[in-house]
Every structure is written in C-alpha cells, then in structure tokens.
Structure 1
Amino acid sequence: MRIVMIGSGYVGLVSGACLADFGHHVTCVDKSAAKIDALEAGKAPIFEPGLDNIIEHNRSAGRLDFSKELAASVAEAEVVFIAVGTPSRRGDGHADLSYVYAAAREIAAAVSGFTVVVTKSTVPVGTGDEIERIFREEFPEKDISVVSNPEFLREGAAISDFKRPDRIVLGTEEPRAVEIMREVYRPLYLNEAPLYFCERRTSELIKYAANAFLAMKITFINEIADLCEQIGADVQKVAKGIGMDKRIGDKFLHAGPGYGGSCFPKDTLALVKTAQDYDSPVRLIETTVAINDNRKRAMGRKVIAACDGTVRGKKIAILGLTFKPNTDDMRDAPSITIIQALLDGGANVQAYDPEGMEMAKEVIGPITYGNDPYEIAEGADAIVIVTEWDEFRALDLKRMKSLVKTPTIVDLRNIYPVAEVTKHGFAYFAIGKKNEKQ
C-alpha cells in the first residue's frame, strides 16, 4: 500500500519506518526542511535503539522516502496518517490541536479518490468528529474516511512495541476503512496482534485512559514509597508483594522521582481538561497530576536533606538527565525540576547523560556537563542517580569513593542494593527505604 505519514517526529518516524519494514511504501512528510534534509542524509533527528538501521534498510529498498511536499505525496496515497504534535496549550492546559487541523485541511485539499485519514497523534475525544466536519463542510466533494488509531509506543522500546503490540486500537465503523486498516496491519497476523475495532470516540478515549491509569499507578507507588520511609518498610518489597497479584501486575510499580516524557504529563492534563469541559471531573487523575508535579521538586529537597540540609557552595553530580533510559527525550524530565531546586539552593551542578546532554542544554540552566560518571564525581559532595541508564548500574564504587569529596549517593531509582553501596563507605539515600548514613 502507499502510505503517507504527516509528521516525522517520534511517533511519525518510528511508525513510518516500521510500516515500510512491513513492505508498504511510506513517505514521511514534514515541514521542517532541516529534519527532512537530515533524514535524507541518513541521520535520524531522535535517538531510538534500532531506528537508524530500519530507516537505512528501507530507504535502500525503495520503500521509505522523505518529503517536504505534502500535496504531491498525499495525492497518490491510500492511507494518510496524521502524526503531528499535540502539546499542552499555554494558558489552559488543553491539547493544542492547531497542527492536527492544519494538516487535515492540507490533506483534504490534496487527496484524490477514496482515502483513509488516520489520527495517530494523541487527540482528545471528539477530534475525529471535528476533522470529519472540516472535510464535509470545506471539501464536500472528497471521499474521505476518518479513523482513530492511537499509538502505544514506549520510548526506548518503540520498534518492538510497534511490531509486537499488545493491541492495535482502530476507531471506525465504516466498512471500507475497516478493510483498508486490516490491510495496513496484515503483516502482523503471524504475531497474532489483536486488531480491536470500536467507535472513534471510544478509541480516542482509550489512549488517554491508558496513560492516565499508568500515571496513577506510578504515583500510587511513589506515595507508598514515602510512607515506607516513615515506617521503616522497603517499597521494592512492597511493590513485589502487591505486583504478584495478577489483578494488579508488577508493571509501573517502580518508585522514583515522578513521571515525565512526551505522553503522561500532557495526556493526563488534557484528559482532566476534557473531563471538565463535559462536567464530569476525573478527580483521581487531577490528584495524580498535582502529586507528580510536587514530587519532582520534593526530590530536590531530598538531595538537600542528604547533604545535611544545605547545598550552598557544594558540588552535586547528577547521573542521568532524560526522563527514562534509551532515549534523548528531555520533555518534562524530573531532572529539570530537581536541578533547578539545587541551583536555587546555591549548588554547583555537574551532570552526565549518555544521550541527553545536547537536548538538556536547551532546557536546563547554567550547569556543567562531563564526559562520564567519574569525571563529574570528582570532588562531589553528593552523587545523585536520576535516570537508570544501564551504565550506571555497575559503577566502580571503589573508584567513585576515591574521587568524591563527601561519600554520599542519592539513588532516586533504587538501582543498587543498600549493602552494595554502604560497604564501600557511602551514605546511601534511596526511595522508599531506610536511609543509611555513615
């Protein structure tokens, strides 16, 4: 099939490359000339394990190409995906749909023959109805079916998620669109990927409800972690104990500094705003948003407390900047708020991240960046683990002890056993565990 992906950001690029890998001919369109030029030169604008190889393989096979010209690409397409950004709108927190509607108008003007237009972007309930209204009122002569097909990709594991999904949600009841979307995803039949067809509004809400539920799960275990610290329990053992219950499951029960990234913060907020518009408030999610926002700043206070109540004039070494490992994404990363709290307290912050430092320089204030964990640890009054990159899991703690000024580790991801750290002479502060001071 001939498929066009409007938007070559994280979702659009991963989805387009994987669809090309299925054997479809895919054109990724983006208005950013710099992004398209980089892609044509073989350089992906984002870091995602395995993505560069898939792009190069399918470009060489002639199944994947890139363009700045929407009209010419769309005119030949059977399916057009909208995968543009829907950031939180300034001022009120609603999802900004201006890019979605602008793309829809351009697509409708360019299509020829029956075309399925698919919203892959995360959009509030009713967005598909509005797109359909635009087509019907502004382009009544065009034969277009609007489908909702939300993405459920985890950054760092997006390719695996796309090719081996838990489910593929498709919001349409139009028979022609159903058959075409079956053909789009037919290559996944050997993996027995379930195609779940439902009403379009239901599909749109499934995406938000899924992310909100996972965000609540993270926030729940973070609050339990705070309680564990007060009563002398171990949150990792609590999480394991409740996660063994199949009704609960063990996913998203890892206590930490709060959720971030491109999805949970904006999607929970957008769902709150949508619910308010329909006079049906989602109070659990409202509370989740508030708790998570407060938690990130609280993690800064936790570091300050570990440094005997003040970081003024002290050197703090930050390990990890991105909101999770295996990505360079800094959107709403907890590190941003934590570092700002330390800077406000007068600290001298030095940081290292395997992939995120260039992105971090655009959103974090005046800090110093190092080339590896040991460089930034030299002379440090505390080492703070913010992101659980694999290379931080087996640090040479003996070497670290010889480099630091004050042997203190604040592990906001609980990646080390307490005994492993303390036997090297470090004071160890984890999440949801008893603090071990030397």
Structure 2
Amino acid sequence: MRYTHAIVLCIALGTGGIIYPYTILNTNFLRPYDSIVRPRYHVGCGLQVAVYGETGLSSAQGHFYRGGTSNILQIDAQTQDALAMLDGFPVDSAIGQKRIQVDATDDGIRGHFNLCGDLDFRFGGALSARYSFTPHFMISAYLPFYSARLHNVAWRDITQSITAQDIRVRTYLTQDIFSIVRQLGCLDLCGWNRTGLGDMALLAEWFGDYQQPNRQMLDNVRLNGRGGLILPTGRKSDPDRLFAFAFGHDGATGILFGGGIDVLMARILQVGVDVELLHLFGNTRERRIKVAFEQTEQLLLAKTSVYRDWGLTQRFNVYAQFYRFYRGLSLLAGYQFYKHGRDRIAFKTCAFSQEIANTSPSLNEVIIHQVQLTASFDPWYDPCLNHKVRPYVELYARLPFRAKNAVTAPMVGIVFALDF
C-alpha cells in the first residue's frame, strides 16, 4: 500500500502549566527523602542541611503500560486516534457536528497519527534539613524542585488518500489537527519548558544502633523508621498541554511510612534493606477523561471535575557498600523496586461514563526497576575528632533498566551536606 504522509513538527519554546493524567509518580525523577539517596547523618550532631542536584544523561525512555519500551508519547498507544477523539459526544455539540462532517469509519489507519517527541529531565534538585532533638529522634524537611522540557514533538499523519472517506478525514480533520483540537478542546499539541517546585516532605525519623561486641564478624545493627506528610507544594496540572506531567502529586496530600535495617560486618561491609509506603488522599481537579473506549490519551477533548483515588505507592531498596574503607570513602551498589498501584477516577456529571473513563491506560499501575551506584566521602566521620562542622559529599548514578507505564532516564547527581 502507498501512504501519503504528512509530517508536522512543532517545537514549543514557551513555558506553561503542565499535566496530563501523568505525575511524578510515572518518572524516576529525584525523591530527596529516598533512603538510598539522602546523606548519612552523623550521630551526635544537632542539625544537618543538604543540597541535591541531578540531571538526565539522555532524553527519557518511554515504557508502554503493558511492558516494553516506546517513545515517551506512545506509552498509552502506538498511534493517536483523531477519529475516536470525536466519539462519545452529543450530536448537537460542536464535536458531534465535526464527527458528522467527517463521516468515516475507523479502520486502524484512517485518522491515526504516529506521535513522538523528546522529554529531557534537565534538572532535579532539593534542599533538606534534619534536626535532632534527642540522640535518636529527629525531624526533617525536604523540598524538591525540577526542570523538564518536551521538544521535537512530531505528529505524522498515516491516513491514506485512496477512498472518499480518506479524503474527508484528511480534509476536515487531520491536515489541520492543531487548530481543530485547540478550537474544540482548548488543547495544545506542541511541546513545552517548565521549572517549578515539587511536593514537600515533613518527616519524623528514628534510628537506633545496636553494637555487637561479642560477634566475630557482625559489628553493628542499625534500625530506622520514619513517618510523616507529603504536602502539595508542587506545580499542579494544566490539562491543556500535551503530556504535561505534574512535579508533585497533582494537589494530593499524602502520608509516608518507611523503615529499614543496616548491618555492618567486618568494619567495612555494610548491607541494608529499606521499605517505604506512600498513601495519597484522593483529590478533585479539572482533568481530561475518555468518553469513548477507543480514545487515546493524547487526544482527549472532554474535561470535567474529576475525583482521583490514588493507588498505594511502594518502594523497596536493597544495597551493599564498602563502608568508609579508605579515609571516609564509601562505595555503594543498590537495587530499587518501585511500584504505584492502579488509580481510579469518579465524577458527578451524568454526561459521561465512569466505566469508560476508568479504562484510561494512564491510570494503570507504574513499575520501575533501577540500579544505583554511589561514591560518598565523609572526611571527618570519626566522632572522636570533635569537629563542629562535618561535611559530606555524595556522587551517584541511577540507572533504570525495566519499567511499565513510566518515562525514565539514566540520572547522575550530587549531594552535599553539612552537620553541625
């Protein structure tokens, strides 16, 4: 078969609000309270302040919601369906009249676009402070901030020019898709730049060291636990921009719990396990929804007030490190499993079907596997030296290798901390 291809490339350099149904939960962007990233606290110090910075080594890789890699704009579907975009609306509405004008059946090619683009995680950073009011209890605050860019967005029309239906679809719909979706749904299909805050974490933390003087190889066991709030300080969604993800949890407040165990052996080898759970309270915002089963995520014209019931987020870390083996230098290798459960949505209007809306692929579970490699330097780690200020620096690389319903990138970062 011969296809007549129309390739439209738009590169948006302006800033704007961001979100689709996707949030930072669908990415491996920095989470500064992650136990495998945050700096080690010096026992006996009262205050620790730290600054984080990281960047992506390449443009982000998309991971299809059923598994497998894709372009970041294809994680919900291989093609975007402009004909299905017009389905599910009253015939007397502007969208319904456009569907009547086009008057064509969807054969899997007619009205479809191959969509691709590049997403850059340009910068992720954070400021944190931890204050110890007893030897083993502390309170901490973490405030992240992010910068990302969606660019090189290309919509490639794969509609043929053979039948009368093909010609109508190209004439009345696909050849002017940008102005049509802007007119019918106030939706911008180009790229964007954005910088903004993420969600703040306020935590209460505890740790306890249990030395093992009578064990030949085992030197110390450290237990730790934490709990607190995730506050919605991050930039919230703008549902009118293409694949714009939230820098937080789209206005939701959460409760976080975590804990772990670290074991030091032979004074040099440390291994640990850490578990963290995040529960987000449901919240209501203006969001785009599916109103027909075949609609695709990047061409949704219907927007209404939607309640989102968030799934449980789980994170598991396992690591081993050569601990302060040479003048405060440590080397760590860790594995992280991250999972966010399936979300559900609901709305009060009777104009649309909640059953159809909940078939959106963006609501499916998110899974990310990644490896972290870290080199840290703690030059004044010896408590007997009695330094008033103790610096700590950490360099790390975070390497994702498998995921679902996510966009990930290999990240490199630095953490610098001072304990007083």
Q: Which has the larger radius of gyration?
A: 2
* TM more than 0.5: no
More strand, by proportion:
2
Q: Which has the higher helix share?
A: 1
**Highest RCO, 1 vs 2 (Cα 8 Å, sep ≥ 6):** 2
Give the structure-2-normalised TM-score. 0.22
TM-score w.r.t. the length of structure 1 is 0.22
